Structure formats: C-alpha cells, structure tokens
C-alpha cells in the first residue's frame, strides 16, 4: 500500500472552484503516479476552516472517483495557516515510489517535493554513508542511488570474465561486453549485470577490494558517472559515493562528507560482515579499510576527497540517527 500526498488551494470558497481544484489535483495524482482510478483504495481529504461551501469528497465522487472510500474533514482554525487549502492523501495498492502533487499556493508547503533536490554524500568505506542516505531518502521520499554498488558490479563482471583488474584495457573490454544497470523495486535499488540481479553477490570483502581497484580506471569512471548523472537528472535524489560532490554532481543542492577513524569504520564493517556471514578477523578488515582508503584517495581520476562546499561530519561518536537528524536539520533550514 502506498500513500500519495497532495494539496492545492482555491481562489474563492464556492462549489465551482472547489470542484475544479479537487478534480485537477486528483487527475494529476493519477496521471503522475501511473495508476488507475480502480487501484485507489481510499481518498482522505482535509480542508482549512475557511472553506465551507462544498465537500472535497463530494467533488471527488463527481469527478469519477466512484469505487474507492472517500472521507472529508475540516481542519481547526490556525493562525498563519495557508488560506483556502485542500489537502489529500490517496491510498493505493501500487508498488511504485509515490509522486506527491502540490499545486497552486500549496506548492509552498513542500518545497522539498515540488522543487527537484539533489543531495551528495561522500566519504570512505564504513563512514555510515549508505545507512544514513537510505534513511534520508525514505524521509524525503526521494530516490537513493548507491554508486559504490555500480563499481562493485563492474568488479564482479571483471572477475567472472577472468579479466586483469589492474589493467585498464582489460577492464574496458569487459565493460564493453556487459550491461551494468540499476533498477528499483519497492524503492530498493537492485544492481544488475546483463539484467541479472547481483545485489547480494557484490557485497563480499573480495569484491570490495576489487571495486576499489577497477574504479580507478578512467574508462570505468566515465561510464559509471554518465549513468549516475542520467539517473540523477530524472528526480530528486540522494547519491552516496566517493566523488559525488566533487565530480558527479558538483552543483548538488546539499553536500555532506562523512568520515570516522579507520578503527571505528573497520569495527562497523566487521559487525556488518558477521551479520552477512563473512568471517574475517578484525585486523584483516582494518587492513583492507586502510588499503582501500589509500587507493580511493590517491587515484588519478576523481579521487575520494571532500568538496570545498561539503559539510564534514565526523561520525566516530555519533549514532546513525544523530547523523540523520544533523543532515535533515541542515536541509530543512535551507528549504
Ligand atoms: O561505497 P562502496 O564501499 O560500495 O564502494 C566500493 C568501491 O567503489 C570504493 O572502494 C571505491 C569505488 N567508488 C568510487 O570510486 N566512486 C564512487 N562514487 C563510489 C564508489
């Protein structure tokens, strides 16, 4: 079940204006979310206390929304509230990421939804980027792109083809033969090689090291960055990686650089590995983290580094929810 939200405002409190505005809002919701009226389970309306002349639910019925449950309520009179505003929540069975619709004066209510927003989160392995980015994507209902997964898929493709990952030409030959892509299912990113889901296979410690190696080659970077930009231009999104703020999206609206000591990051990675069933001594994880940092920071093309305009967050002594709250506060202050 998905909840699609929306709101609109009317010029005057009369039945024609309310009927027109409700129809316009619902039609836009149906159109933008690629849903059928029959897939809607229920529509809930609320309107500001200054609208008396017509029930939005009745307007919805008249606009052809006849097979779903409808409900209207009036909001309390609140000083400073937007005038003559109708809010809606449409509950539907569709699985896709909801597209929320804010029209007319209501566009000011959710600038994060109506204006395209891009967030760049960079940092070394184990700094908490992906966990934090996933939560923020959910909170703002925007797309999350794990760019590291794409380099991991390149590494896996090279390993499966027996390519020499230290040799740029050998890696390029593989990437010319296979198709690396991502797809979303219920808002979750799946990473694909030739259409096959490899999301789980790319998470091994071996692939982590190989991904760091293959990502240093110019051809690999160009190919992956083109794809990342293509995905990012379609909708509001949060991308995490090593070069998002410096190279992939230099004009991102918000940039963050997460970091922590190698020891803390290795401890986190070790805990994750244990959960996934990869048994590896802590000292080995630490060694890999340090080697990966060195490779990622010292490569020639788009190395890992903080963008000048990124906010640095040192996460050693922070819980995930503290990092999330810190980032959301910064974003909401600027929206
Ligand atoms: O974030 P991760 O651990 O999944 O990334 C795996 C490797 O991919 C990382 O060591 C370096 C590379 N990478 C990159 O070069 N640029 C990115 N934007 C993301 C990852």
Residues of the chain below pLDDT 70: 111-114, 335
Cα–Cα nearest to 150, from 120, 180, 173: 180
The verdict on the CB of residue 126 being under 6 Å from ligand 1 is no
The verdict on the CB of residue 242 being under 6 Å from ligand 1 is yes
pLDDT of res. 187: 82
The verdict on the CB of residue 212 being under 6 Å from ligand 1 is yes
CB under 8 Å to 31, separation ≥6 — which residues? none
Q: How far, in Å, are 166, 236, 254, 313 from residue 122 at the CA level?
A: 24, 17, 11, 10
The verdict on the CB of residue 152 being under 6 Å from ligand 1 is yes
The verdict on the CB of residue 147 being under 6 Å from ligand 1 is yes
Q: Which of 200, 241, 293, 302 to mutate to test the pocket of ligand 1 (most atoms within 8 A of CB)?
A: 241
Burial class (CB in 10 A: 0-12, 13-18, 19+), 176: exposed
Tokens of 97: 């990421």
Q: For residue 113, how far is its CA from the centre of ligand 1 (angstroms)? A: 29
Ligand 1 atom, smallest distance to 240 CA: 18
pLDDT of res. 114: 67
Does the pTM exceed 0.75? no
Q: For residue 217, how far is its CA from the centre of ligand 1 (angstroms)? A: 12
Tell how far CA 115 is from the center of its chain.
15
Q: Report the distance separating Cα 68 and Cα 66, nearest Å.
A: 6
CB under 8 Å to 193, separation ≥6 — which residues? 153, 156, 157, 178, 179, 180
Report, in this order, helix, strand and coil percent for the chain, each rounded to 5. Answer: 45, 20, 35
The verdict on the CB of residue 213 being under 6 Å from ligand 1 is no
Helix (H, G, I), strand (E, B) or coil at 311: strand
Atom 10 in ligand 1: which residue has the minimum CA distance?
Answer: 212
The verdict on the CB of residue 127 being under 6 Å from ligand 1 is no
Atom 13 in ligand 1: which residue has the minimum CA distance?
Answer: 148
**Cβ-contact 157, 203 below 8 angstroms:** no
């Amino acid at each position: 079940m998905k909840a699609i939200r929306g709101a609109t405002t009317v010029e005057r409190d009369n039945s024609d204006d309310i009927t027109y505005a409700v129809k316009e809002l619902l039609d836009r919701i149906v159109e933008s979310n690629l849903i059928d009226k029959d897939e809607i389970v229920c529509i809930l309306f609320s309107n500001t206390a200054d609208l008396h002349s017509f029930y939005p639910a009745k307007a919805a019925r008249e606009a052809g929304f006849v097979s779903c449950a409808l409900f209207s309520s009036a909001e309390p009179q609140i000083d400073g509230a937007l005038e003559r505003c109708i809010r809606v929540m449409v509950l539907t069975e569709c699985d896709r990421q909801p597209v929320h619709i804010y029209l007319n004066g209501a566009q000011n209510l959710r600038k994060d939804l109506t204006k395209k927003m891009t967030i760049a989160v960079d940092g070394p392995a184990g700094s908490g980027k992906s966990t934090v980015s996933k939560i923020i994507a959910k909170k703002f209902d925007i797309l999350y792109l794990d760019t590291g997964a794409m380099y991991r898929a390149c590494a896996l493709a090279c390993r499966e083809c027996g390519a020499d990952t230290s040799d740029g030409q050998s890696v390029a030959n593989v990437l010319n033969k296979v198709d690396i892509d991502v797809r979303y299912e219920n808002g979750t990113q799946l990473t694909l090689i030739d259409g096959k889901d490899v999301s789980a296979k790319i998470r091994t410690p071996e692939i982590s090291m190989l991904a760091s190696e293959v990502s240093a080659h110019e051809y690999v970077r160009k190919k992956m960055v083109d794809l990342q930009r293509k995905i990012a231009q379609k909708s509001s999104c949060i991308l995490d990686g090593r070069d998002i703020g410096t190279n992939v999206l230099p004009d991102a609206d918000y940039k963050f650089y997460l970091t922590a000591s190698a020891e803390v990051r290795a401890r986190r990675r070790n805990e994750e590995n244990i959960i996934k069933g990869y048994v590896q001594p802590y000292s080995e994880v630490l060694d890999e983290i340090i080697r990966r940092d060195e490779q990622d920071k010292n490569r020639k093309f788009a190395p890992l580094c903080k963008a000048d305009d990124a906010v640095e967050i040192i996460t050693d002594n922070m819980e995930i929810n503290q990092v999330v709250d810190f980032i959301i506060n910064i974003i909401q202050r600027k929206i």
